[in-house]
Structure 1
Amino acid sequence: MKGQYATDQGRVRNHNEDAGGIFKNNYNQYLSIVADGMGGHQAGDVASQMATSIIEEKWQETDQISKPEEAEMWLKATIEQVNKEIYEKSIKEESCKGMGTTVVTVIHTQDFVTVAHIGDSRCYLKNEAGFSQITEDHSLVNELVRSGQISNEDAEHHPRKNVLLKALGTEEVIYPDIQTVTWETDNMILLCSDGLSNKVSDSELQSFITGDESLVDKVQGLIALANERGGEDNISLVIVHHELLMEEGEKSC
């Protein structure tokens, strides 16, 4: 496996509330994460950094994961703990009142990936069947689309497009969506915040992902495209390519 993480402030925001990375445990297993913070006076970055750092710390301490059930249990317990810590900080500190963050995180093994998410940061999978989004946004517009009240086209321009129905740290108890999918050589995973997915179509994401460029060029090209189209939001993404070995020059945490 090899992977690349990148984040960019964008062209409008005065600071970056996204966080993320690719992290290794003691058994050379990898976990990737993207978190998009919101709320409070510059507290979104506090929430996203808390989520990322707590998950990273716990991942580096974890035992080897060999079964999907183990990965799912680990992600559920870890995200619930992160939610508790962010929620408690938001209650205790006035400057952090109302803060929260999306999170999408993936455990990568040689045979499967396990994905957990809350909010509208996304996970896409490229495999022999094609390229597709495998997470469901926890957003108002996605629920309107799912219930048939608006079309996908309407959703792109809906005035409440950014309204989330779930975010990490905003409620005392919250449960992530978790799934496991088969993961084979030459498959790829893309994680991203909505600063990318709101500016770049799925077909364009697929074109970048399946191109011949290096992972560094892929992530930087996608960030540049989102910025060319306005860059109103922070932009963060992870690409992980299933290869036999992780090349240190390609990994960025």
Structure 2
Amino acid sequence: MESTYCTDPGKVRDHNEDSVGVFFGENCLLGIVADGMGGHAAGEIASRMAVDLSSAKWAERSGTPTRDEAESWLNHLVRSINLRIYEYSGTHEACRGMGTTFAAAFCTNDFVVVSTVGDSRVYIWNQGSTARQISEDHTLVNELLKSGQISKEDAEIHPKKHVLMRALGTEPTIALDTSVFDWSKGSHLLICSDGLTNKLSGEKLSEIMEEATGLHEKTEKMINEANHAGGEDNISVIIISQDGGGEKQ
């Protein structure tokens, strides 16, 4: 497994509230994209806390986990980050109400554990196929879509598309959305913030993945395309290759 990532403030915002982390272990790695929310610099603080706490927890673990161990570890991580951010915001006036999305993939050679909160996404892609979203958006619009109140076309242009139903740090407890699945050689994961997916469709992401370029060139191309389409938000993407093709960052 190898991975690369890229993050960019976009063309409109003057600072980047996205935080990204990729951490390598023994036959495993952890990739995280967190998109902060809150006034002033609070969103940036929340997303950075999520990645820094993940880094610290990752440094404490060792070995190659079983499926159950990896799932349990990731669930515990999400709960602990949520509580830490919630407690921090409660004791720092400037950070009141801050939170962050969280999209994480704990990858081994045989399986992947994915856990997400908010609207940062995880996709899986194989050559010749369209990138498939394997996470669920915790948004008002997605709830309306699932209940049949709006169409998929309506969802794409809904004025409240940005409204989150779930984020880390806004409540003392958090509902978990974790899944475990196998992946095979040639598989790639994309972990990204909504600054990318609001601008590029799964078909466009797949088109870039099909190009005969390295993984880092692909992440840069995705960022450039999202900026070309407007770049109103911060943009972040991690690509993880099951069998190489990238560089460690």
Q: TM-score, normalised by structure 2?
A: 0.96
Structure 1 partner of 2:17: 17
Describe how 1:97-246 pairs up with structure 2 within 5 A. Answer: 97-127=96-126, 130=129, 131-243=131-243
Please say if residues 102 and 120 of structure 2, whose CA atoms lie closer than 8 Å, have aligned partners that are also in contact: yes
Please say if residues 33 and 237 of structure 2, whose CA atoms lie closer than 8 Å, have aligned partners that are also in contact: yes
Please say if residues 142 and 155 of structure 1, whose CA atoms lie closer than 8 Å, have aligned partners that are also in contact: yes
After TM superposition, give the deviation of residue 210 of structure 1 in Å.
Answer: 2.6
Secondary structure in 1 aligned to 2:50?
A: helix
Please say if residues 214 and 245 of structure 2, whose CA atoms lie closer than 8 Å, have aligned partners that are also in contact: no
Please say if residues 27 and 64 of structure 2, whose CA atoms lie closer than 8 Å, have aligned partners that are also in contact: no
Q: Residues 128, 210 of structure 1: CA spacing in aligned structure 2 closer, same or farther, 3 A cutoff?
A: closer
- The answer to whether structure 1 residue 38 and structure 2 residue 37 are counterparts is yes
After TM superposition, give the deviation of residue 215 of structure 1 in Å.
Answer: 0.6
Superposition RMSD on alpha carbons, in Å?
A: 1.4
4+ residue runs over 3 A deviation: 127-130
- The answer to whether structure 1 residue 251 and structure 2 residue 248 are counterparts is yes
Q: How many residues align?
A: 248
After TM superposition, give the deviation of residue 208 of structure 1 in Å.
Answer: 1.2
Map Cα deviations across residues 113-168 of structure 1 (whole Å, 9 max, x no partner): 10000000000011479331000100010111111111111011101000000000
Please say if residues 195 and 235 of structure 2, whose CA atoms lie closer than 8 Å, have aligned partners that are also in contact: yes
Map Cα deviations across residues 183-205 of structure 1 (whole Å, 9 max, x no partner): 11110000000000000011001
After TM superposition, give the deviation of residue 234 of structure 1 in Å.
Answer: 0.1
Please say if residues 5 and 251 of structure 1, whose CA atoms lie closer than 8 Å, have aligned partners that are also in contact: no
Q: Distance in 2 between matches of 1:129 and 1:170?
A: 40
Question: Unaligned regions of 5+ residues in structure 2, if any?
Answer: none
